[in-house]
Amino acid sequence: MSAPETAPTWPGLDSDVAAYLGNRAMVPMHVAGVEASRAAFEALPQQPGPDMHSVQDRVVEGPHGDLLLRIYRPVDEPDLPAMVYLHGGGLVIGSVRTFDRLARFLAEAARAVVVSVDYRLAPEHPYPVASDETYFAVQWTATNAADLGVDTARIAIGGDSAGAALAAGAALQTRDEGGAPIAFQLHIYGGFERDDTRPSVLEYADGPIITAGDFAWTKDLYLGDDPSKDHPYGVPPLADDLSGLPPAIVLTASHDPSRDGAESFGEQLRDAGVQTALLRYPGVYHGFMMHADDQSRARLAMAELGALMRAKFAVGPGSVAWGLDHC
């Protein structure tokens, strides 16, 4: 199916963002279908991200077979903090390759090792496959911290879009199962829920970049089409109890269907006593952090996010930031 002849416009975008989007009109994923969407995304030109001291691919035996982990080390220093990172793409498209750029930005900004997880995709691998692989990757990173040159007391988890939901689900599972302590959780324009009645969903139903229909479609492909069967590890806002989770950073974009759901989840965390930083960036869209070197708002957001991540790594688990009475 061909793209429409004209693209919609969205008032309030930053000027460089509007120039980047131009008059492009994209075929929504739910219209194009799984294979065409994957092929189009993988074929996008990949701009290089920041240079790393080293980038290493490791294939490990995961809960559902071989699992590729791409490990970014920004500097040659011992005992760096680490972040297990889950890429976006609705759990249907995307890979460590297509999100290489964002992984490098995060490693540089946090001055931390990033372990990017090439989890299996739906619909071939529905819930809980990607969720299982996320939890496994966190525990694997902690177990192999010495080999990775990572400080086991400073391991965080984070993701963008659907990857944020994976990260939040793994934080819940880590709490419930007594897994390795997580320094903090990072959620970049997270797609946490199915609610299609929120104002941001209605206002930005046609994008930019991603549509409300895409969110609903990808959720159905991973979770199934019966919301009554959803589990909190797959849809974290459904959890009855969010207390005792690691501190959170919740970053949202103004022109994004997922904005209100992500911010609502941040408020849920706050209400549960989880120290949570809520950061909304105006004038930008879902996916803008991939442009931290050529869009001014994204550059600012990455600088601020990096400072906040480094501060949280400096404190780590076991501090008053976790609501404990000792440091």
- The residues annotated with a catalytic role in the active site are 161, 256, 286
Number of Cα atoms under 13 Å in the Cβ half of residue 8: 15
Residue 115, strand partner residues? 71, 84
According to DSSP, the β-strands at 54-62 and 80-86 are unpaired
Q: Which residue has the tokens 């991540």?
A: 309
Q: Phi/psi at 158 (nearest 5 deg)? A: -160, 165
Nearest to residue 317, comparing CAs of 82, 34, 85?
A: 82
- The span from the CA of 72 to the CA of 55, in Å, is 5
Residue 289 corresponds to which amino acid?
A: M
Residues 69/70/72/73 CA torsion (nearest 10 deg): 60
Do residues 28 and 93 lie in contact, with contact meaning Cβ atoms separated by under 8 Å? no
Q: How many Å apart are CA 49 and CA 65, to the nearest integer? A: 30
